[in-house]
């Protein structure tokens, strides 16, 4: 059950970050909160030494950075696709 909830969160963060990074229609403070939440989730689950938790931490740092710096669209798209596919696989698993 917790896997599916965290998968929904990954999907949500991926879509919101895509909307923020490409169209700039989401407030940066909301994206910052989501980035901090993703960072906390990555830090909590890094104890299992899984690569996905490490990539969550990197994604969170990029998302937090994006609130103050404009990132290239390719970076935004790659991070968003990673989070969306991770969310989908969590929902299916």
pLDDT (tens digit, 9 = 90+) per residue, 68-92? 998 899 999 999 999 999 999 988 8
Amino acid 82: pLDDT: 93
Q: Does position 33 have pLDDT exceeding 80, yes or no?
A: yes
CA distance 64 to 5: 22
Measuring CA to CA, how many Å separate 48 from each of 10, 86, 87?
A: 18, 17, 19
Q: Which structural domain, as residue segments, surrounds residue 43? A: 2-92
Amino acid 51: pLDDT: 84
CA distance 68 to 92: 34
Amino acid 76: pLDDT: 93
Q: How many domains does the chain have?
A: 1
Task: Give the SS3 label for residue 26.
Answer: coil
CA distance 52 to 50: 5
Given pLDDT bands bounded at 50, 70 and 90, which one contains residue 61? very high
Residue 77: name the closest of 20, 1, 2 by CA: 20
């Amino acid at each position: 059950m917790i896997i599916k909830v965290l998968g929904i969160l990954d999907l949500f963060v991926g879509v919101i970050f895509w909307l923020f990074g490409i169209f700039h229609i989401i407030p940066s403070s909301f994206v910052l909160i989501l980035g901090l939440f993703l960072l906390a989730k990555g830090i909590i689950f890094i104890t299992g030494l899984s690569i996905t938790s490490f990539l969550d931490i990197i994604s969170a740092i990029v998302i937090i950075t994006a609130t103050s710096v404009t990132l290239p669209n390719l970076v935004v798209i790659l991070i968003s696709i990673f989070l969306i596919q991770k969310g989908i696989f969590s929902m299916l698993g």
